[in-house]
Homo-oligomer: A and B are copies of this chain.
Amino acid sequence: MTKILIRSDYLLPGGDNWNIIRNAELLIEDTVVSYIGAQRNYPVGVIDRIIEGKNKLVMPGLVNAHTHAAMALLRGYADDMPLMDWLEQKIWPAEARLTKEDIYWGTLLAICEMIRGGTTCFADMYFHMEEVARACLESGIRASLAQGLIGLDASQGAARLEDSKILVSDWHGAGEGLITIMLGPHAPYTCPPQYLEKVISIAAELSLPMHIHLAETRGEVQDCLDKWGKRPIALMDSIGLFKQQVLAAHCVHLSEDEILTLTQRQVAIAHNPGSNLKLGSGIAPLAELLERGAMVSIGTDGAASNNNLDMLEEMRLASLLAKGSCEDPTVLPARKALKLATVNGARSLFLKEETGLLREGSQADLIMLDMDKPHFHPYHDLCAQIVYAASSADVEMVMVKGRVLMEGKKLVTVDEEKILHEANERAVRLTR
């Protein structure tokens, strides 16, 4: 059994406890936290490694609850365009050229950025997901993966569902639970009710959660009303989607009734403020969702529409945007924002292992921030400094399941130089 001892000037356990522990100690035995608290005179002779955190702060790793990692290859390829032009003229043609290998390298590019920014776990929806799984397993980052399902063509839809079953049998629980699989019906406008019913029945049969896009744009809501006579959330409710565990990305355009439905059905909502703003989709009613008690987490969406995968920035944006759009500075205070970006993320991925917070028995998914920066000073309230002032570049060390993925700002499980080189080479081909 490997034992790692972390000593840190500051530690935030997370979950419901965002009180700083000063001069803290954390013992990790293999993949699990076995002690958290004040420094003891633990016999260092039995420790494999000691990680010292002078002027450092340890906290739970960030959970990115919605992204399309491999789209990092399309970062900056098309911006500032109307949504349909962006998709039809730029993104879809480029995606049509994506090979399995592109997905692998694009995902690794995203993983480099996510680890650097303190993300220890992410929910992904894309295609060639076995390549995504491979990149995650190699790099050691935790992920919940969904093959995007499009049901507009019956035979293609059925084939993709079969792919998903293979993905489940090959990868669900791989890496001792590092990788889990969801079903990924893309959205109501790409998956008609009849197809969604098939997906739901397989989700029930295999006990798998589903990851879906819901109510992202005003146009989507209107089209859904025109076509099916119901708004998206109501339509999904009527066909029984929410009887299963569901992670719903976006949820921007919601009626009062839909907010109630999402809350009552305990749908996990991945809020993507950066992408929703950048694509001109709008501003989600986050304050109302939180007030009703909805389970909200935070996602970056893909890098083609964000354009980074910086969860600290996304957490800050979620809080600021909620305050500003309500004209109420008390909305989504710092500790609540931290919860959304950590433990709520983990719970929204319906993981069996306890992640997203640090306590005895939880998974050792954690990050260490260097507090020796002007923007963290003075040390009035370190939670506020993290939410309102921190930068992804403050993350110095990242650990997932007890394995160090970054240390002293060096990525230790992947060859970053080769990944950046491959990403550039492939991007040139994709967008020629």
A interface with B by C-beta (< 8 Å): 72-77, 79-83, 86, 109-110, 112-113, 116, 218, 273-274, 276-283, 303, 306-310, 313, 317, 319-321, 323-331, 333-334, 372-375, 377-382, 384-385, 388-389, 391-394, 416, 419-420, 423-424, 426-428, 431
User: Does the CB pair B327–A280 fall under 8 Å?
Assistant: yes
Please report the C-alpha to C-alpha distance between residue A292 and residue B253 in the assembled complex, in whole angstroms.
29
CA distance A378 to B110 in the complex (A): 11
* A384 pairs with B274, CB closer than 8 A: no
**Subset of 12 A-B contacts with CB under 8 Å:** A74-B380, A76-B381, A79-B381, A80-B329, A82-B328, A274-B320, A278-B388, A280-B326, A303-B375, A309-B375, A317-B317, A391-B391
Q: Known contacts A79-B384, A323-B280: does B329 contact A116 (CB below 8 Å)?
A: no
Most interface-central of A374, A392, A419 (chain B CB within 10 A): A374
Chain B: minimal CB distance from A427 (Å): 3
Check B374 against A416 for contact (C-beta < 8 Å): yes
Identify whether the interface residues of A are mostly helix, strand, loop, or mixed.
helix
A81: chain B residues at CB < 8 Å are 329-330
* Cβ–Cβ < 8 Å partners of A375 in chain B: 75, 113, 303, 307-310
Interface contact B310-A374, CB-CB below 8 Å = no
Across the interface, A281 reaches (CB within 8 A) one of B274, B321, B324, B384, namely: B324
Docked Cα-Cα span, A386 to B283, in Å, equals 24
Determine if A278 and B378 form an interchain contact, defined as CB atoms under 8 angstroms apart.
Answer: no
Q: Which of A75, A373, A392 has the most CB of B within 10 A?
A: A75
Chain B residues within an 8 Å CB radius of A75? 375, 377-378, 380, 385, 389
Q: Chain B residues near A331 (CB, 8 Å)?
A: 280
Task: Determine which of B72, B324, B377, B380 lies in contact with A276 in the assembled complex, contact meaning CB atoms within 8 Å.
Answer: B324
Least CB separation from A312: chain B residue: B391
Q: Chain B residues near A393 (CB, 8 Å)? A: 391-394
Do B76 and A306 touch (CB < 8 A)? no
Which one, B116, B281, B391, contacts A374 given CB within 8 A? Answer: B116
CA distance A72 to B77 in the complex (A): 37
CB distance A377 to B423 under 8 Å? yes
Taking each of A281, A313, A375, A393, which has the highest tally of chain B beta carbons within 10 Å of its own beta carbon? A375
The verdict on A424 contacting B377 (CB below 8 Å), with A283-B324, A320-B278, A393-B391 known, is: yes
Residues in B with CB closer than 8 Å to A426 are 378
Give A17 to B98 CA distance when docked, in angstroms: 33
* Inter-subunit contact B310/A391 (CB<8 Å): yes
A208 to B113, CA, bound (A): 47
Task: Give Cα A306–Cα B308 distance, bound, in whole angstroms.
Answer: 21
Tell me which of B74, B333, B389 contacts A308 (CB under 8 A): B389
Partner of A327, one of B73, B282, B319: B282
Quote the shortest CB–CB distance from A10 to chain B (angstroms).
14
Contact (Cβ within 8 A) B329 A83: yes
> Known pairs A113-B375, A374-B419, A391-B393. 20 more at Cβ < 8 A?
A75-B380, A77-B380, A80-B329, A82-B330, A116-B374, A277-B320, A277-B323, A278-B319, A278-B320, A278-B323, A278-B329, A278-B388, A282-B324, A303-B375, A306-B388, A308-B389, A313-B313, A321-B324, A378-B424, A379-B427
Task: Kindly state the separation between the CA atoms of A81 and B327 in the bound complex, as whole angstroms.
Answer: 12
How distant is the Cα of A379 from the Cα of B428 in the complex, in angstroms? 9
Complex partner residue of A385 from B73, B76, B326, B423, CB under 8 angstroms:
B76
